[in-house]
Amino acid sequence: MGSKNKLKRFKENETFSNVIQPKREEILEGFQLKGKWNDFFKNDHPIVLELGCGKGEYTVGLAQRNPDKNYIGIDIKGARFWRGAKSAQEENLENVAFLRTQIELVDLLFAENEVDEIWITFPDPQIKYKRTKHRMTNPVFLKKYQQILKPKGVVHLKTDSEFMHGYTLGLLQGQGHEILYSNHDVYKNAGSPAEVLEIQTFYENQYLDKGKPITYIQFRIN
């Protein structure tokens, strides 16, 4: 993407009512929407996050299917989620927001028990050992998710990485978390939820074209 296109998207994001772009200092000093997201959406519907939302296909796709839930896509790359934010504006989806920030700050963005579900879609598997701290299902991240999730809150991991799938399963089993469902090839093996099969991201289509299996885990953090 050219720098002119990026700048144009950044400018347009600033005009969207569904895009929030706090400075890091604002978050560290006390984020004003923490604990008040239902005020932002003007309802008391469940709150669902998509972490590392990319172009926002899942955030928008889920919001279209479930108008009784509020969806927030989080990513540091505003030029990417511009597409999802624009689509949500054009379709008058009032249950969608996009938050431009770093995922590791998630526990400073939401209050305890404020979130009902978390979706992690096609994260970088960070295969090298020294990158373990950046894996979005490592123990540190799981603790952050547990802090903001309601007691029965659910996490969904959809990935093309067999490594990420296996790493996460092993970690969940080793730490005694509750694995609700697991599938190592969702389009080949029956049983995955409709939302896993019916919504496909830009990158997922690229992986499918290469014949890569798509995996899915649904779990609770104990």
**Please, is 13 exposed, middle or buried when counting C-beta atoms within 10 Å of its C-beta (0-12, 13-18, 19+)?**
buried
Residue 124 falls in the annotated catalytic set: yes
Give the strands of the sheet with 96-100, arranged side by side: 19-20, 96-100, 70-75, 47-51, 115-121, 149-159, 215-220, 178-183
Which segments within the chain are labelled E, that is strand? 19-20, 47-51, 70-75, 96-100, 115-121, 149-159, 178-183, 215-220
Of 44, 124, 160, 209, which residue is the catalytic one? 124
Catalytic annotation, residues: 124
